[in-house]
Amino acid sequence: LDQASLWSLSQYLPNNLVTVPLTRLDDYSFRSTLAASLIPAWIADAPGFHLERARKLLDRYRAVRHLLVGAWYPLLPYSRSPRDWMAVQFHRPDLGEGMILLFRHAESPYRTVEVALRGLKAERNYALTFDNSGETQRVRGADLMNHLLLSLDTRPGSELITCREIAE
């Protein structure tokens, strides 16, 4: 639902105007609520609260929040269906940098999805860094805007991929 609301409102409103609270510490929840403002709704002094995990999420937010005020592209249609995927892209053409948020809903039988990125420079190379694995791929902009095949083995599953223009 958080993904859906952000997707809908992002059609019209800048990301710094919409936000949903983050109550959990898992990556799926964190990525589902990523807006330009983060509202941690954790109970930090609750017994068993994983403080280090929370710090890690905040660090991750700080590392990408400058991308959340960039142009917003829906890569896949809106869906609340548990069998679907959702994906959106943020991009800062002024920095040559952006990111992709990818979600495989809880009952989706599909392991891969094909998207086409937007707003890149066709002739430039981009480094795609996958948060889950830490791996980096080097891909031409034209290819990324043609098709990009993405996989998630778990369901529900999510990925945060940063995309940075790199020197030749």
Partner 1 sequence: MATWIHEAVRPRTLSSIAALLLALQAGGAEIQITLDPASPGREFEGIGALSAGASSRLLMEYPEPQRSQVLDFLFKPKFGAAFHHLKVEIGGDVNSTDGTEPSHARTRAEFEHPRPEHFDRGYEWWLLREARQRNPAILTDILQWGAPGWIGQGQSDAEKFFSQDNADFIVSFIRGARQYHGVEINYCGIWNETPHNVPWIKLLRRTLDRSNLSRVQIVASDQTGNDPWRIAREMAADPQLLNAVQVLGAHYVGFHSTPEALATGKRVWSSEDGPWRGDWQGARQLARAFNRNYVLGHMTKTVIWSLVTAYYDTLPLPNSGPMMAKEPWSGHYEVQPATWVIAHTTQFAQPGWKYVDSACVSLPGGGSCVALRSPSAAEDYSIIVETMDAKEPQTLVFRAAGRLGKRPVHVWRSNEGSQFDRMDDLPLNSDSFTLRVEPESVYSLTTTTGQQKGHSESPPSVEFPLPYADDFESSTAGKYARYFSDQGGVFEVCRRSDGLGQALRQTVAGRNIDWPFHPTPEPYSLIGSRNWRNYAVSCDARVETGGRVSVWGRVVLSPQSADPAKGYCLSIGTDGHWALKAFTRTLAEGQTEFRPGIWHKLELRFAGGRITGLADHVELASVDDWTYSRGQAGLGTGWNQALFDNFLVQPLTGPELPEPINLAKGAQATASSQWDDQFSARFAIDGDPQTRWNSAPGKLTNEWVDAFPPVQSSRMRIVVLEVNGNDARNSTPSLYEIEVYEAQGEGQRRIGAEAEWFRRLLAFPYTNRLDELPLAPPYARARYPFSFTYNGRPSDTLLPVWPTASGTNDLGDGVATSWRAWTDPATGLRVRFESRCHQGFPDCDWVLDFENTGSRDTPVIESIQALDLMVATPLEGEAPYRLHRTEGAPADPTDFEPAIVPLKARQTERLSAGGGRSSNRDFPFFKVETGEGSLIVAVGWSGQWAAALNSPDGHHLRVTAGQEQTHFILHPGERVRSPRMLLFGSGQSLESEPVPAQ
* CB-nearer residue toward partner 1: 39 or 71: 71
CB of 157 to partner 1, least distance (A): 21
CB of 78 to partner 1, least distance (A): 5
CB of 92 to partner 1, least distance (A): 7
- Which residues, 6 or more positions from 138, have their beta carbon under 8 angstroms from its beta carbon? 125, 126, 127, 128, 166
Q: Tell whether the torsion through CA atoms of 127, 129, 133 and 134 is positive or negative.
A: positive
- At residue 66, the 3 state secondary structure works out as helix
DSSP 6: H
Using CB under 8 A, list all residues that contact partner 1.
Answer: 1, 4-5, 7-16, 69-74, 78, 80, 91-94, 118-119
* CB-nearer residue toward partner 1: 30 or 72: 72
CB of 46 to partner 1, least distance (A): 26
* CB-nearer residue toward partner 1: 89 or 162: 89
Helix (H) or strand (E) holding 143: helix 141-146
* CB-nearer residue toward partner 1: 57 or 162: 162
Helix (H) or strand (E) holding 151: strand 148-151
Structure tokens at 24: 């959990």
